[in-house]
Chains A and B, each alone.
Chain A
Amino acid sequence: MRNNFVRGIKKHGMSVIFSLPFLTLFFVFTVIPVGIAIVLSLTEYDILQAPKFVGLDNYLMLFLEDDVFITALKNTLLFAIIKVPVSMIGCLMIAWMINDFSPKVRTFLTFVFYVPSISGGMNTIWKLIFSGDSYGVLNNILMDLGFISSPIQWLTNPDYIFTVLVIVAIWNSLDLGFLSYVAAFRGIDPELYEAASIDGIKNRMQELWYITLPTLAPQMMFSAITAITSSFSVGNLSATLFGEPSTNYAGHTIVLHMQDYADTRFDLGVACALAVMLFVLMVGGNRLIKLFVRRIGK
């Protein structure tokens, strides 16, 4: 076994040297911290004093005692279930639509659709739109139209918080996945469509299902993984919109719960346990999505 490893290194010496810089960084900044987090999740650690080993207590506490964790878990999963499909399908459809325009218009439209996801500061505008003041944009419109008579506290009333979160998240969900689609559509060989029409494809829907989508499978995988990762790690958005924590934890997510334990409550052990669970969730989510993507075009 050991022999094999050494022989392998000798055989692929050049490749090892080339990948070494990346591997070093990857180990130091990703693998080792993940390892440390797993170890710390088994301890009670308040950052300023030495950690104390407590076994699985943190995990048990989260599941059995911490109601807020359940809320956060529910919010995160619900958020992912809504956002992942909407953003995947949205990215694909819009990229498909844009693809039929002339190059100049296409570039312009790509820019227009991609801009929301790189303009992080836009959350301030959303705060203005959903402001609870009667002069807030949405309140003002609704009151002008006579739908409501007194302003709604969109950002602090727990009844609205989650909905607002989803709306804003979907608005800026045309991210990297979208760009990769736009590029991939250009790479599809038009001859494929020609051949398919000779083989008896009748309409554009069939074209999409049998030709376009299978060709785009790698990009779909990419887009799915980014969508999953970003949905599970949602947190900052909620914190900027609703404050930290939101009223009655209505916009609380796992990441926020983790930050709450780490930064406010100085319980780093529990925070690490949450991080580990989030990691497991993401891996699981990615597996699930892969199953779906593989079925496309079959």
Chain B
Amino acid sequence: MKGLFAKFISIMLALLTLAAVLPLAVAAENDGISAPNSGSAEVSEDVMYLDYIASYEDAEYPAARVDIALGEPVTLGEGESLSSQVEIQQEGLYVLELSYKTEGSSSATVALYINGKTPFEEAALVDLKNKFYDVEDISDKNLTSDTIPDVVAADEYQTIILTDTIGYYGGRLYFYMPAGANELRVDCVENSVSISSLAFTYYDAPAKYDAEAVKKSGKVYDGDTVYFEAEYAEGRSDASIYATNDNSGAALSPSSPYKKYLNMIGGTAWQEPGQYIEWEFEVPKTALYEITVKYRQSDSAGLNSYRRILIDGKVPYAELEEYSFGYSSIYKNETLSANGEPMLFSLDEGKHTLRMEVVGGELAEILPYVENVVASLNDDYRNIIMVTGSDADTLRDYLLDSVIPDTIADLKKQQETLAMLVERLQKTTSGGSEGTKIMGTLSEQLKVFLEDTYNITQNLPKFKSNITALSTWLISARYQPLRIDLFALSENEDAVKSAKASLWKNFTHQFLGFLYTFSSDYADNAINSDEEDVITVWLRDGAVKYTIASQLVRSEFEKQHPDIKVNFKMVNNNLLTAVVSGKQPDVAIGVTNDLVMNYAFRNAVIDLNQFPDSKEVFSKFRPSALVSMTYEDKIYGMPEAQSFNLLYYRKDILDELDISVPTTWNEMITAMAKLKKNNLEVGMGGSSFTQLLYQYGGQLYNDECSATQLDTYEAIEAFALHTSFYTEYGALLSYDADNRFRTGEMPIVLGAVTFYNTISVLAPEIRGLWGVAEMPGVLREDGTIDNRVTTDVSAMLILKEDKKEASWEFLKWWMSESVQTKYIQKIETILGQSARVASANPETFLALDWSSEMRAVLDEVDNDLIGIPAVPGSYYTSRHLGNAFSRVVYDDEIPGDALDAYVDIIDAEIAKKRKQLGLTD
């Protein structure tokens, strides 16, 4: 009886598995997803490498090498391509060997085409990593912290065998080449790269570790254990991978409660497939060694991190092609082992290199499926809300199964895929639990949806948040962070010192460190500012930026200007009180533009136009940046950061709905109506009345800056248009632009430059599907479009008379192109692209790592910026424009009346302030 039952169950299970896997196989065959947004047609996307290689199961791996003659190295710029003929004698699967050098400071991305077609998805986005070196050794001169050395990009060719850098597949990529003449084309998609050689060749895969054979080959080392510190890395793929301080315990080497040693390398900077670090180490004598890595992997919860380990450019044993470092919340010694037994490495006396590359790990194979699911579900979600709206009426049955049968069919397909993935994950992973949970929930939810499509409208917001959760998990699952503190070469693993410190040691370490916080001078370089040649500078920004800036001051400014010392401090508030009490700094960085004039009118800031070279210095800024700091012919501040708004749009959705990117407000209104019809929105938050006012030919203040010009025809016209977006065309007053843009609910968003950075980082799944353009404008009579945009500026001030020459030197130095570029690049390496600063130095700003499309737009916008003069009492303008706006939008007042009600109030405040300041009698 019992046996029968068990049999029945097992048969059912087998059937279930079959049912779950079958559709997937079918799905894989007909290109995975039925997304309507197959962007660029020439790429045969959606064939994943795993499916590709599976279809050539019986093909040979010929042991031949076919070099492709290039002659001179070929340099490819963005969008350029190289194409050459390859004569293949023996058909079969080859790997591609390539020597390259990236130009510029970031890695290049190339796409490969064989006979005009990308063979599989992974070949369409191959990152070719750069190589970086430290210029000098880590300096420990400083008492409280080591100084991070500068890095430079190596000017040398690197030879690699292509691997997957998206992170879906751990091994090398094989290309099937039929016999005869073939064409290989390499397109450079991002940045630029020089290629010196290309060859289809045979990869001689390493054999598995064979303990007996290795032990016979030599003698096991019998001396003292040799250690080398991981922070002294030789080369690495990104400038953002550098020696870092980990103050988590006493066991790190070196560590001190008082000093921030740079004692490890890696962490979240070293996590994307393809990123590598290289070390050089000295072997004392020829022998067999065990290698131990002291590591920690707690940056990604519960997941193992995988590395390919190469010694002297070769993977010694097959086990090291994809070596797993288990999750560990504390530092741990991992002696490289096979089958639980430490491996021995035969090393000759002298210098060797060790290289570790991030490779896709245990989740790698399922990630492409998850990515397809997310993309499809996002499309499905959008198709659903095109019918129901994002706030669907829950009492109504939209009969979705008959209105959008394709979408419902796709939901079914995705549900099946998810169920299959969940099952696979449950079987294999050590720590995929979070992903399993999210996918399980989503799959259950889809099941409920499919039972009755009426349920979809009931649970739309939850559905959306589940998709977002899955795509967030997808980003994190690709990443494989790893911190390494120390390497050891030893005769056996017991000879390596423990990775843990005793409880007592750790306690004293932490406690002393805590006590030390009371005495440590975090400014680190406080100099007596009363001295003749010392200027005090206040940076009004966060700690990371302060650290970077103060390093630049030390390493560059003080070397260039040996006669000036800088007392550099991080002070965020209290500038006003400091000025009142006479304790103001010589220079303040990061002051908002309304404050500049507030201080200037009260004689607390000195005029910068008095210096002999001021004309030349200010000419490099955009004129618009100076407007708000200029009064008559005096300039009171130096622009530091300048930001403005742009139009962001989803290419796929606008194409689908046949909407062109709006260039005027009239086109914008048409686009809004079309999108509304499909229940999609436009994020209008980035448009402002002031901008419209200038586009209509009006201006905010009269030429003497003594009163507003809000009662003109242009002003009323602009205000009517601005409010009509909300009252007549239903633009939303508040929304979360990032997520709505990503799901496609809001295919057009007007937002600041920072939105570009946010979306690039936050939503990799829509990479390539969105674009930027200039803000819409107003059609002029001559047929051109006035699409000027207003800008926001922050400034640096000189607040003291007596050392103003030195302060002026500092200002000039800080805003110079090279310093700004270094400053921003360093910030980006630490805080990531989303922290990119919009420097007011146009040269620096344009030289940042933008896509070519973005750069073209920025070039255009450069001439279209408007600065708004600062007027005493100008805070009243923005405040009451807001009030007038609310009267129209909330209380249905007529725009002209609402605006008119506040004109006198604003003008009165301006007049009062002017009188107080003695600007009028």
- Whole-angstrom CA separation of A121 from B344 in the bound complex: 56
Q: Mark B569-587, 1 if CB is under 8 A from A, else 0.
A: 0000000100110000000
A48 touches B733 (CB 8 A): no
Residues of A with C-beta under 8 A to B873: 265
Residue of A nearest to B458 (CB): A144
B394 touches A144 (CB 8 A): yes
Q: Mark A156-180, 1 if CB is under 8 A from B, else 0.
A: 1111000000000000000000000
Shortest CB distance B311–A (Å): 52
Interface residues of A in 246-298 (CB under 8 A from B): 247-248, 263-266
Q: Does A143 contact B (CB under 8 A)?
A: yes
Interface residues of B in 554-599 (CB under 8 A from A): 576, 579-580, 598-599
Which 7 A/B pairs are nearest by Cβ-Cβ distance? A132-B734, A48-B602, A247-B886, A157-B890, A248-B883, A133-B734, A143-B391
A133 touches B882 (CB 8 A): no
The residue that A153 contacts in the complex, of B391, B734, B909, with Cβ under 8 A, is B734
- Whole-angstrom CA separation of A157 from B875 in the bound complex: 20
The contact sample of 28 A-B pairs, CB cut-off 8 A, is A47-B580, A47-B602, A48-B604, A132-B734, A133-B732, A133-B734, A134-B390, A135-B461, A135-B736, A143-B391, A144-B394, A146-B393, A146-B395, A151-B732, A151-B733, A151-B734, A156-B733, A157-B886, A159-B890, A247-B882, A247-B886, A248-B886, A248-B887, A263-B576, A265-B873, A265-B875, A265-B909, A265-B913
Q: Mark A122-140, 1 if CB is under 8 A from B, else 0.
A: 0000000001111110001
- Whole-angstrom CA separation of A69 from B456 in the bound complex: 52
Residue of A nearest to B886 (CB): A247
Residue of B nearest to A144 (CB): B394
- Whole-angstrom CA separation of A48 from B578 in the bound complex: 11
Residues of A with C-beta under 8 A to B461: 135, 140
Q: Does B603 contact A (CB under 8 A)?
A: yes
- Whole-angstrom CA separation of A48 from B733 in the bound complex: 39
Residues of B with C-beta under 8 A to A47: 576, 580, 602
B580 touches A48 (CB 8 A): yes
Shortest CB distance A163–B (Å): 14
The residue that B733 contacts in the complex, of A44, A132, A143, with Cβ under 8 A, is A132
Shortest CB distance A268–B (Å): 10
- Whole-angstrom CA separation of A48 from B584 in the bound complex: 12
Shortest CB distance B391–A (Å): 5
CB within 8 Å of A: which residues of B?
Answer: 390-391, 393-395, 461, 576, 579-580, 598-599, 602-604, 732-736, 873, 875, 879, 882-883, 886-887, 890, 909, 913, 916-917
Residues of B with C-beta under 8 A to A135: 461, 736
- Whole-angstrom CA separation of A265 from B580 in the bound complex: 16
B733 touches A49 (CB 8 A): no
Interface residues of A in 102-155 (CB under 8 A from B): 131-136, 140, 143-144, 146, 149-151, 153
Residues of A with C-beta under 8 A to B909: 265
A153 touches B890 (CB 8 A): yes
Which among B390, B391, B602, B736 has the highest number of chain A CB atoms within 10 Å? B391
The residue that B602 contacts in the complex, of A49, A136, A140, A143, with Cβ under 8 A, is A49
Residue of B nearest to A250 (CB): B886
The residue that B391 contacts in the complex, of A134, A156, A266, with Cβ under 8 A, is A134
Shortest CB distance A267–B (Å): 8
Q: Does A207 contact B (CB under 8 A)?
A: no
A133 touches B736 (CB 8 A): yes
Residue of A nearest to B879 (CB): A245
- Whole-angstrom CA separation of A146 from B391 in the bound complex: 10
A48 touches B394 (CB 8 A): no
- Whole-angstrom CA separation of A247 from B394 in the bound complex: 33
With A247-B882, A248-B887, A266-B598 as given contacts, are A46 and B916 in contact (CB-CB < 8 Å)?
yes
Interface residues of A in 15-73 (CB under 8 A from B): 44, 46-49
Which among A158, A264, A266 has the highest number of chain B CB atoms within 10 Å? A266
Which among A46, A146, A265 has the highest number of chain B CB atoms within 10 Å? A265
- Whole-angstrom CA separation of A238 from B858 in the bound complex: 39
- Whole-angstrom CA separation of A263 from B598 in the bound complex: 11
B890 touches A46 (CB 8 A): no
Residue of A nearest to B882 (CB): A247
Residues of A with C-beta under 8 A to B886: 156-158, 247-248
Residues of A with C-beta under 8 A to B916: 44, 46
Shortest CB distance B722–A (Å): 16
Shortest CB distance B904–A (Å): 12
Residue of A nearest to B739 (CB): A135
Q: A44-B916, A247-B883, A248-B883 are in contact. List 7 more A-B contacts (CB 8 A).
A: A46-B917, A47-B576, A132-B733, A134-B390, A135-B461, A140-B461, A151-B391
Shortest CB distance A168–B (Å): 18
Residues of A with C-beta under 8 A to B603: 48-49
- Whole-angstrom CA separation of A274 from B579 in the bound complex: 24
Residues of B with C-beta under 8 A to A263: 576
- Whole-angstrom CA separation of A55 from B459 in the bound complex: 65
Shortest CB distance A36–B (Å): 13
A146 touches B394 (CB 8 A): yes
- Whole-angstrom CA separation of A245 from B881 in the bound complex: 12
Residues of B with C-beta under 8 A to A144: 394
Shortest CB distance B331–A (Å): 34
Shortest CB distance B599–A (Å): 7
With A48-B599, A266-B598 as given contacts, are A158 and B890 in contact (CB-CB < 8 Å)?
yes
Residues of A with C-beta under 8 A to B732: 133-134, 151
Shortest CB distance B915–A (Å): 11
Shortest CB distance A97–B (Å): 37
A46 touches B887 (CB 8 A): no
With A133-B736, A153-B890, A248-B887 as given contacts, are A264 and B580 in contact (CB-CB < 8 Å)?
no
Residue of B nearest to A154 (CB): B734
Residues of B with C-beta under 8 A to A265: 873, 875, 909, 913
With A247-B882, A248-B886, A264-B875 as given contacts, are A46 and B734 in contact (CB-CB < 8 Å)?
no
- Whole-angstrom CA separation of A134 from B579 in the bound complex: 45
Shortest CB distance A280–B (Å): 26
Residue of B nearest to A65 (CB): B908
Residues of B with C-beta under 8 A to A159: 890
Residue of A nearest to B577 (CB): A47
With A48-B602, A248-B883 as given contacts, are A153 and B576 in contact (CB-CB < 8 Å)?
no
Residues of A with C-beta under 8 A to B735: 133-134
- Whole-angstrom CA separation of A47 from B584 in the bound complex: 14
Residue of B nearest to A249 (CB): B883
